[in-house]
A and B are shown apart, each in its own frame.
Chain A
């Protein structure tokens, strides 16, 4: 008994509990986001969206998930087998790791690391590797096109993303996410760093391969992009990782610019989730408003507009802080 109480208070128990919670959150979040995406898309086109399964189609995605689980896992003959099989796992694991440091409320955080934001940025970069693995190993021209595009795009948009994050870090003086939230006690950083917020949202949209930057999976040109050859649960893992990535970039944006779990009356966790889902709605709103950019436009936009603006913003922030 003594051992049990000791165990439940220990770091290991916190990690195990956190892991279970995160896996549950990831699955439920993905199911909810797919439903939300379809509803948002439908209402912007004056349609009702899924209506048949459950009230207002609420459990439609559960039915879809069950269907996907029952599908055959097809492995084409010419694929690079070990890499092909590894890619869906590599795309999913870093996504789970990112949740380690996200502060859902004052106390609801698995591990409060002093390099929190760096850990998220470092691990979310691994997604590119997984996409490249999947696209290359598929031995399919559309898949490899999608993978190459993804690499070029993610490298280009990582730079302004890091620069905008850096301007917030400069103001706080800490990589720890709880410190960043604590520093926004008086005002949210969106009011002092509006340009950084806009740049961050644009880069985050590109990093998560969302429209208008969805060239890696441009369905009108590349069938499905890098996951063309994947079926069943392997495809579902890519899908799950994509929607979880949207959650993560929105959570980071909420922490950096919208004061994290801070808010009146409601407990912190609710405020945090409200902010995150509002940002996700914004990203979905982008998708159903803007058409896909051309590839030269994509790269020009990153190098000629986003990066100079992010640098200027960083410079001005540094100057203002010094004065």
Chain B
């Protein structure tokens, strides 16, 4: 008889304990993230697609269009074009397109970059309705990010500007070539055996 009542009391107590657990959860804040409207903060070690680092000093990217990333990429999905503007010391990227649908996120491009121009993005929501959505033009993306943090957007050089820069570069090269040829010609009578050297140089520069 005692065990009967004890069983009932113990059972009733266990039911109350269970209800205490559920009511505690009932008043806790919910953990769901409403997917299209809310965004998670990703951990610092998250490796999304590569993107340009916005340089804290120049407020623009540091890409010199060396094409190292494009060459090391195992999926060969990076297309880089660059041009040297007159007066500039280095080449600068005029086009940087990343076909993300081929990307295996190996991160070799980020590691190989000689100027540390690339970093891993924290973006994890990459759903799109068409395949073309996954093609990332880094210069456009950079402009968007610059605008988002209130920095002046880096202009993308137009076709005409690129053509002008190329022409200017070619003209400068030609001028240099002529200068070199003139230099080579001038000491020619004096030093006969070294004639082959200046002749070698022009094809090298054309290739460049």
The closest CB in chain B to the CB of A305 belongs to B8
Nearest Cβ distance between residue A210 and chain B, in whole angstroms?
A: 15
Is A47 engaged at the interface, CB distance under 8 Å to the other chain?
yes
Q: Which of B15, B23, B26 contacts A290 (CB 8 A)?
A: B15
Interface set, chain A 265-311, CB cutoff 8 A to B: 285-286, 288-290, 305, 309
State whether A46 touches B34 (Cβ < 8 A). Answer: no
Q: Say which size band chain B's interface belongs to.
A: 10 to 19
Nearest Cβ distance between residue A49 and chain B, in whole angstroms?
A: 9
CB-CB under 8 A from B23, the residues of chain A are 285
Question: What's the dominant secondary structure at chain B's contact region?
Answer: helix
State whether A40 touches B26 (Cβ < 8 A). Answer: yes
Interface set, chain A 44-85, CB cutoff 8 A to B: 44-48, 51
Q: Say which size band chain A's interface belongs to.
A: 10 to 19
CA distance A289 to B31 in the complex (A): 19
State whether B19 touches A51 (Cβ < 8 A). Answer: no
The closest CB in chain A to the CB of B16 belongs to A289
State whether A285 touches B30 (Cβ < 8 A). Answer: no
CB-CB under 8 A from A51, the residues of chain B are 34
CA distance A285 to B15 in the complex (A): 11
14 contacts between A and B (CB under 8 A): A40-B26, A42-B30, A43-B25, A43-B30, A44-B25, A46-B25, A46-B29, A46-B30, A46-B32, A47-B31, A198-B12, A289-B18, A289-B21, A290-B18
CA distance A88 to B32 in the complex (A): 38
Is B22 engaged at the interface, CB distance under 8 Å to the other chain?
yes
Extra pairs beyond A44-B22, A289-B22 (7, CB < 8 Å):
A40-B26, A43-B26, A46-B25, A48-B30, A285-B19, A289-B15, A309-B8
The closest CB in chain B to the CB of A40 belongs to B26
In order of increasing CB-CB distance, the 3 nearest A-B pairs are: A289-B22, A46-B31, A289-B18
State whether A46 touches B8 (Cβ < 8 A). Answer: no
Nearest Cβ distance between residue B3 and chain A, in whole angstroms?
A: 13
- Which of A46, A198, A285, A289 has the most CB atoms of chain B within a 10 A radius of its CB? A289
